[in-house]
Structure 1
Amino acid sequence: MTSLTSLHNSLSPLLTPAHPSFPFAPIDVIGAMRLSSVINWIATGVFDPPSTPSNKGKRSVATKKARASIWQELAGLMIVVFGGETFLSLCTGSTPSWLVTPNITLLFCVVHIIQTRTSFSRLLPSKPSLLFELFMAIPDSIGRTLLLTRFSIIPLLYPTSSKSLPVTPASLILVPFILAVPFASIAFSTFNFFQPSLNLTTPAELKPKGWMLVDTWCPLLISPLFLTLIGPVEGWNFGLGWEENEGVLACMIVLWICFTGRAIYNFGYEKEHLIELFGKSQYGKKKIE
């Protein structure tokens, strides 16, 4: 397992601030840019179903999709980032991090404003693609694994306050899930915070086949996997006895495979998509009768 430990150590530049005057790790900045991009795609209607023209034969006029105000989008963004932590803090009577220091709040808000309300937005992809999603599967897996292990399970195993939740199999599974899923669902689908008007709808996770969403089931996979790799620990009585760094890296690899598979399924499972990836978009097009 020495190779896993050394590989984990090689990621340290991504996980530590580059300079004391800039208290953000590169993975934090990448995560803020990634989340802002997804929100921007939703707000601009990239994922909306194509509209069908009502009058055939008439020239269609392109209309720009209305989007929510910046304040509404920032409110939804904060729900995604801090909703789960705030809920758990209310359960334990502790203070959420965004009330202790505004650093992460400022980072995510400033990044979203720059990426969506300035000319910098022209430099970013206007919609997702196979190549972009394959590239982003790497930082996505790193950031999500850290959330589901070091920022959720590890604090439970090594509490620094008497207000911490009890360490049980249920808490070790549910805390990472709460941090990652329910409040993101509230912002993205339940209340549609990134649409011009708030509308209460059924959460995507509760719709038919919603359980198949990778972001829904990966917390329920990674948490037990990590605990089994590093266990036995308090609240989890069996395991392989790996070092924590080894377990974190193994979970990153598993999530990278999951996110890569999602990218291929969503954007590259058709022949035309794979051909376009290699710059031959004109080859293999279906003949139009």
Structure 2
Amino acid sequence: MLGIPPSFMVSGIVPALYAAVQAIVDNLPSVPAPSAETELPLSILDGITRAYLLCNLIPPAVTTNTSSLIASSPWTLLITSLITANAGFFFVNLFSFLNPTSLSVQTPPELQPYGWTATDLWCAPAVTAIYALLTHAQPFWAELHTIIYESLSGPQAQAQGKPAVEPLDPELARAICAVLLSGLFLGKTAKNFGLLPNPTAKAPKIAKKKTQ
């Protein structure tokens, strides 16, 4: 839709990589069951690798587009990030690829009640927006960064005529996004495995001894 050919149409490296990884997984004697000990380190790795996707791969696909309307549109950037990062999960759940039954169409969890609250769904456009804000990837984000800076600096700083806010180095901005994503995924993993305290859980009642 953006006029950019898919990577697998240009080079066979990506399909070959996926095929090799799938072959290795299929030939492993056993796959360890998910546990907190294995998922917590992988959450950090997931945050780092997904930061590369959301900061280095998706924004240039929009900002370098030949159409100036697409290249400068913040909505296009956010929607592209949302679709690119979540289309795989969406279609896997839509056609029940992971179910031990024949393929059938079902409602993906993302479209069910409160499905939008899933971390993997909203973190993609949110992190891409943060990266674009810090690096001024589009004129809209540069103006928004200036407005936020001026509103937080107060009237005294504005009266002193401080220079306009400068964009961060792309590598530094990506590192910030990687730390943020790793923290989000660590929190999600800790919640899924019951490592976080439940504030809604009621403390057990201690029976009082009757006194005569």
Equivalences for residues 113-152 of structure 1 within 5 A: 113-116=23-26, 118=27, 120-122=28-30, 124-125=31-32, 127-152=33-58
Q: Deviations over 1:140-197 (max 9, x none)?
A: 001111111110013333x2x636843211012111111111332111x111123341
How far has the Cα of 1:259 moved from its partner? 0.4
Q: Which has the higher contact order (CA 8 A, sep 6+)?
A: 2
Show the counterpart of 1:48: none
- Gap change, CA 1:92 and 1:231, over 3 Å in 2: closer
Is contact 1:94–1:163 with CA below 8 Å preserved after alignment?
no
Which is further off, 233-242 or 258-267?
Answer: 233-242
Output the aligned Cα RMSD.
Answer: 2.1
Match of 1:202 among 85, 103, 107: 107
Show the counterpart of 1:226: 131
> 2: CA distance between counterparts of 1:163 and 1:182?
24
TM-score by length of 1: 0.56
Where structure 2 has 5 or more consecutive residues not aligned to the other structure, the ranges are 146-164, 198-212
Show the counterpart of 1:108: 18
SS at match of 1:193: coil
TM-score by length of 2: 0.74
> 2: CA distance between counterparts of 1:93 and 1:229?
27
Say whether residues 1:213 and 2:118 are aligned partners.
yes
Q: Deviations over 1:45-69 (max 9, x none)?
A: xxxxxxxxxxxxxxxxxxxxxxxxx
Is contact 1:230–1:247 with CA below 8 Å preserved after alignment?
yes
SS at match of 2:57: coil
Where structure 1 has 5 or more consecutive residues not aligned to the other structure, the ranges are 1-90, 272-289
Percent identity between the aligned chains?
26
> 1: CA distance between counterparts of 2:57 and 2:47?
14
Is contact 1:137–1:260 with CA below 8 Å preserved after alignment?
yes
> 2: CA distance between counterparts of 1:148 and 1:93?
19
Code of the aligned partner of 1:229? L
Say whether residues 1:174 and 2:79 are aligned partners.
yes
How far has the Cα of 1:121 moved from its partner? 4.1
Show the counterpart of 2:88: 183
